[in-house]
Structure 1
Amino acid sequence: MPHFQGSQASIWYEQVGQGPDIVWVGGGGTAGKDWHRFQTPHFADRFRSTVFDNRGIGATTCTLPMPWTIEDFATDLADLIRHACGGRPVAVVGSSLGSAIIQQLCIDHPELVRVAVLMGTGAWSTGWGWDYQEAEIEFRKAGGRLDGMMAVAHYAAMLYPARALGDRELWPKLKALMLEWMESDANEESLVPQWDASLRFDQREALKSVRVPVHVLAFEEDVEAPPQDGEEVARLIPGATLHNLPGMGHGSWYGHKHVEINALIERIVG
């Protein structure tokens, strides 16, 4: 599995499939390999997928002092596209923090973007979402951590809609996925360095300058990035297309409604 030295970080990445490039950008606590479970197999026969670990998680390392900014994360993404995709414009797909990183890529490096797909996104952190992230960061800085079923119960309510949580067949599957995530310690490892950037960015003015094709996927039952946040991003970016997806939450791309979401992404990037 290759590493390369970018301008600020040593970045781990992996490529699968053949065809036009899709680069998948994870949210806070999401490792590159997580896209392999429900996304990249769907695209492998028509597209080449590149997954990678953002700084702050997994095998990617960065020795620069924290806090890191969204601009720093976008620099890593630009370095990756130039190194692994030949610097050609690519489709970029992200969720949550990954969407904010892609938005910054569209602002700073539009020549690298063929089309952007943004899931569960916003232009800035505000309201309940700001308080929630700040509380989590302060909890960790004070020495707290969340493990096992306590962590699963906490985050499941943030990631999935009520009908998914109440589905007696689906919930055991989601619980197993989340327990695996908690046991990896990826969330605890990455929370402060990644969430701090998510807490403090504000792209509202800069997004007005974006001129690349952008599709915003807003999940109607998203607690972490309420649909009005995605609607704001779509209004700010000239020509952006908004997709309001009913019955979905912030993490529905992972083990809940991934079949429907993958089909929509395939139509967009194809």
Structure 2
Amino acid sequence: MNLYGVSAIYKFEMARMQRTLMQSILSPVISTCLYFVVFGSAIGARMGDIGDVPYGAFIIPGLVMLSLLMNSISNASFGIYMPKFSGTVYEVLSAPISYIEVVLGYVGAAATKSVILGLIILATSKFFVDYSILHPFWMVSFLVLTSVTFSLFGFIIGIWADNFEKLQVVPMMIVTPLTFLGGTFYSIDMLPEIWQTISLFNPVVYLISGFRWAFFGVSDVHIGVSLLMTLGFLTACLVTISWIFKTGYRLRP
């Protein structure tokens, strides 16, 4: 494996985070803090516990997952789209590195940024809500697994998009609504039975449910199902990326 090539791409992408610190870190952290103020403090103080968990603490996994999904997709999609836009992607493709090493560099950097952001949000939430993590190992595992999975998904979007508008369509029009409807601010057990069934077709439900279980030991679906669904989506992304590089889809003229 060409570790030098992987390291070069990884360091370049991580350096971009330092140049855009306001957009990469401060903006999502401030947005999440506002959610804590409105939903955790103002509304949460007037709501009862959900599954023996205070409402302010209950929404923490959902808010972390919301930021995690959006930033994983954004970081990875923008990271590969800009070389396509500027034409420098051909230099990457002609370099003596395999597509696996290219993906490791771009996706690894995007996932690292998302994990850092998730940990910062978790630390910041301590200022608003008192909480404890029941299963720290599984919390970190879901944090990393989700970051990697949706960074791969964002990488696919970045290759598929041929303009800046398409780059934003999937995150804003599909992922954001699915996240809000996936149990970020509520348990799907609170919904009528018909809507509970419909919610099970939302893949984000399994991500938030598994992440919430790691915190409080409560979930809308079994932890094993959440893990299998996440791994299934990860596998689908890997297969898609393999096909993209083998066929040259949107990468070669």
TM bucket (normalised to shorter chain) is under 0.3
Q: Which has the higher contact order (CA 8 A, sep 6+)?
A: 2
The structure whose residues are more often helix, as a share, is 2
Compare the two structures and name the one with the higher strand fraction. Answer: 1
